[in-house]
Structure formats: structure tokens, C-alpha cells
């Protein structure tokens, strides 16, 4: 059956409508064959089969699972077409594929997606060894095995774990991903994926916080005591120079490292924003050092950002196969938002208020203070791009229409406007003076 499946899957990618439709129909007609889902999993596992066909096999398997695995799925077609024995085989085959030692990010991501669908109905009762297997593979696995295991774990945390299941393994889970995140011998993208899993844990904490406030707060404080020094260290670390544009989107050691470090920093900022939203008091004591580190990084990235996205038209808003953003524009946007959030923290306000008073007293005016420097930073990141300049030259009305469009993409320019507004609401006179100095 595998040869037949490879042929049909290839034909489903045909540009010609008739053979493509016929292949899709023939695949559906095979649903009643007991060997069909096992055959798809086997095709996906074969190195000799082209990667696009293997991905297609996993996509077809996902569709089959949704329609024929369990009545719990909304897409269920009315009949369970997989025996308990074959369900067990498929669970094993897919987990083997996702956590194999082969460098196949897209294949592993596709396999992980099917696993998460199956786990949403079968875990933990029918698949009790899923989570223990992942927690065993992650500490000692190769980078390839680690990638697959983290991807499956991420989907499991996001889609499958209920509150009781989460809290029964929470400390072990958080410790496992922490050890990956802080391990500089691991690839930055894998460390970023580990931080992303940690961030997903806060979605579960948010759901149960109303009913278990004391327990949730205690768990969050315990976890953050370990993680916060790592977050500060990552924020304070400096990025290497960006690779040339022709290298940035291709595989290569320097480009991979650059993308991975941005992805890591991004996930750290994202989790800090999440923590700041849910547990502001817990993060508050660390907010001055986090604010300072973010400000310093934004200052250091200013020239690179200007060259890539203001003067040039470097492609931005890119994500990898695991959904991790890895371009500099995303990082700048997240850090501007986090900087704004930190400004609301009482310890940050107290420290900055003292600095402003001292600087104003020393200078005799508010024209050379930290507020002025923040305005300088905001104005620099808020500049319009070369493309937008061209739009202004062609028709200023079109430019203004785009500029005021509420559905337009949220950009660094927009974030800078929000930062200035928030600062102005707190320190009106100093903010106006700072803006006038740099505009």
C-alpha cells in the first residue's frame, strides 16, 4: 500500500485539476482499509521519500484522525475506523518520528501536530507514557531529538493538559525546559523553544488563578526565582552584527545563530510581558533592572534596525517552521512594548522620578534628562521607511490614510507613539520638552 500512497500523495500536488481531484477521491476511498493510517505513518517515516510527500502524508493522516479516530472530535464522520491495536501502533510510530535523531524540522512539526490531536483525546488514559517519554528524552537527547520532543511538549501544554494533569508534573516540566533554556551548548532556537513552552504554562495558570490563587502565586514565585536571572542575562547579552540580506534567510552557521539569538530574546521578552500581565507584583522588584536592560538593548540595536528597515526594505515579520519569530523588527516591537509596560511598575517610576529630579537640578532644566533620551530613542524607531517616503511623495493623502488605518499592522512606529503617550500621561512637561528637542 505504501507505493500506492506515495503515488496518490504526489498526484494530490499536481497542478492539473482532474488528476489531483481523482487522487484525493482515491485517498478517501482507502479510509476503510485497516492498513491506511499505518501506511501513511510509514510513508512519513521513510527517508527515501521526498520531504514534501512525507509532509503530505502527515497532513492526510491528520485529516483521517480528525474524521475517524474518536467521536470527541468535531470533524468526526460517524465511524471509528482505527482498531485499538492500530491506534497504539500509530501513537508509537508518530512519537518515534517526532523524537528521532534526524534533522527534519518540518517533518517533526507536522508529526507533532498529529500527535497533539491524538493526545487531546487519548492522553493520559490511553497514552500514559507520552509525557514521561518526553521528559526523559529532553535532558539527554541530541539536538534533533530535543527539537521534536520540545515541539510535542509545547503542543501538549497548549492543547491537552488540564489543570490537574499540569500541576501533577509542573515542577518536573518547568525544571526540564529551564535546563534547556540556560544551556549555552544547545542551539539558540532550541533554547527559544524551551522558553516558549515555559510561557505556555502561564496560559494554564491564568485559567485556574481565580480558584487557586494562593497555590498559583506560590508556584509562579518559585519558578520566577530560578528564571529571572536567566531572563536578565539574555536581555543584557548583545546580538552579533546582522548577516547580509542574501544570507539571512538561508541555512548557515552565522545566519542560524543570529536568527536563533533573536528568537531566544523574543521569547524571553514575550514571557516577561505575560508575567507582567498576570503577576505584576511578583515581577515588580526586578522591573528596574529589566527596564534598564531593555532600554540599553534598544539603544544598541538602533543602527542595525535603521539600516535594515528604515533605509533598506529587509523582509521582516518572519517565523520559522515552529512558529518562532526570528527577525529584528519583531524583537524591537516586543521590547518597545515591554519598556512601556515597565514604566507602569512602581519601582521603575520611583527610580526614574529620582533620576529626573537630580538631572533637572544639576542641569537647571529638563532639556537633558533620561526623558529626553527616551524621546530620542522613540523618534529614531518611529521614522517612516524609504517606501513610505515614496508614498508621501506620490500622494500625501494615501500616506495619511495608511498611517491612520486602525487595521494596519502594529509597527515599531505605532509602539513608539504609545510609549510617548504613556510617558506624557505621567510626565507631561518633561515629555514635551524631550520631543521638542528631537523633532
Res. 407: pLDDT tops 70 = no
| Proportion of the chain above pLDDT 90, given as a percent | 79
Give the other-Cβ count within 10 Å of 221's Cβ: 12
pLDDT tens column, 98-125? 999 988 889 999 999 999 999 999 999 9
Spell out the residues 6+ positions from residue 118 whose beta carbon is closer than 8 angstroms to its own: 65, 69, 87, 90, 91, 94, 127
Res. 324: pLDDT tops 70 = yes
Tell me the Ramachandran region of residue 78: left when phi exceeds 0, alpha when psi lies from -120 to 50, beta otherwise: left
Spatial contact of 160 and 197, defined as CB atoms under 8 Å apart: no
Q: Which residue has the higher pLDDT, 439 or 276?
A: 276
Spell out the residues 6+ positions from residue 21 whose beta carbon is closer than 8 angstroms to its own: none
Res. 340: pLDDT tops 80 = yes
pLDDT tens column, 221-279? 999 999 999 999 999 999 999 988 877 666 667 889 999 999 999 999 999 999 999 99
| Average pLDDT value for residue range 139-150 | 95
Per-residue cell: 337 = 512594548
Q: Which residue has the higher pLDDT, 367 or 65?
A: 65
Q: Which of 348, 333, 208, 330 is nearest to 276 (CA)?
A: 348
Amino acid at each position: 500500500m505504501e507505493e500506492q500512497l506515495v503515488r496518490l500523495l504526489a498526484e494530490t500536488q499536481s497542478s492539473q485539476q482532474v488528476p489531483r481531484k481523482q487522487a484525493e477521491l482515491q485517498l478517501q476511498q482507502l479510509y476503510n482499509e485497516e492498513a491506511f493510517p499505518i501506511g501513511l505513518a510509514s510513508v512519513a517515516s521513510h527517508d527515501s521519500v521526498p520531504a514534501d510527500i512525507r509532509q503530505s502524508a502527515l497532513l492526510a493522516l491528520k485529516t483521517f484522525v480528525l474524521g475517524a479516530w474518536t467521536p470527541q472530535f468535531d470533524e468526526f464522520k460517524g465511524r471509528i475506523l482505527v482498531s485499538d491495536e492500530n491506534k497504539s501502533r500509530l501513537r508509537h510510530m508518530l512519537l518515534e518520528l517526532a523524537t528521532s535523531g534526524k534533522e527534519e524540522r518540518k517533518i517533526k512539526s507536522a508529526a507533532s501536530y498529529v500527535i497533539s490531536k491524538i493526545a487531546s483525546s487519548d492522553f493520559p488514559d490511553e497514552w500514559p507514557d507520552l509525557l514521561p517519554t518526553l521528559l526523559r528524552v529532553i535532558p539527554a537527547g541530541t539536538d534533533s531529538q530535543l527539537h521534536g520532543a520540545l515541539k510535542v511538549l509545547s503542543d501538549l501544554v497548549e492543547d491537552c493538559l488540564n489543570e490537574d494533569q499540569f500541576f501533577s508534573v509542573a515542577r518536573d516540566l518547568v525544571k526540564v525546559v529551564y535546563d534547556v533554556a540556560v544551556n549555552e551548548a544547545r542551539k539558540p532556537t532550541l533554547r527559544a523553544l524551551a522558553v516558549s513552552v515555559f510561557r505556555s504554562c502561564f496560559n494554564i495558570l491564568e485559567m485556574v488563578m481565580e480558584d487557586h490563587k494562593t497555590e498559583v502565586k506560590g508556584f509562579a514565585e518559585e519558578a520566577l526565582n530560578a528564571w529571572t536571572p536567566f531572563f536578565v542575562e539574555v536581555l543584557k547579552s548583545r546580538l552579533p552584527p546582522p548577516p547580509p540580506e542574501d544570507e539571512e534567510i538561508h541555512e548557515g552557521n552565522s545566519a542560524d545563530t543570529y536568527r536563533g539569538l533573536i528568537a531566544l530574546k523574543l521569547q524571553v521578552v514575550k514571557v516577561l510581558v505575560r508575567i507582567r500581565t498576570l503577576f505584576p507584583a511578583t515581577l515588580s522588584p526586578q522591573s528596574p533592572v529589566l527596564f534598564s536592560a531593555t532600554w540599553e538593548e534598544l539603544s544598541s540595536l538602533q543602527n542595525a534596525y535603521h539600516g535594515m528597515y528604515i533605509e533598506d526594505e529587509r523582509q521582516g515579520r518572519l517565523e520559522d517552521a515552529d512558529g518562532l519569530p526570528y527577525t529584528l523588527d519583531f524583537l524591537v516591537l516586543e521590547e518597545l512594548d515591554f519598556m512601556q509596560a515597565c514604566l507602569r511598575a512602581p519601582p521603575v517610576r520611583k527610580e526614574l522620578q529620582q533620576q529626573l529630579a537630580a538631572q533637572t537640578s544639576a542641569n537647571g532644566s529638563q532639556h537633558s534628562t533620561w526623558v529626553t533620551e527616551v524621546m530620542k530613542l522613540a523618534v529614531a524607531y518611529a521614522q517612516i521607511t524609504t517606501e513610505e517616503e515614496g508614498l508621501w511623495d506620490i500622494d500625501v493623502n494615501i500616506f495619511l490614510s495608511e498611517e491612520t488605518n486602525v487595521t494596519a499592522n502594529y509597527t515599531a512606529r505605532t509602539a513608539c507613539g504609545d510609549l510617548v503617550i504613556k510617558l506624557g500621561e505621567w510626565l507631561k512637561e518633561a515629555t514635551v520638552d524631550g520631543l521638542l528637542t528631537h523633532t
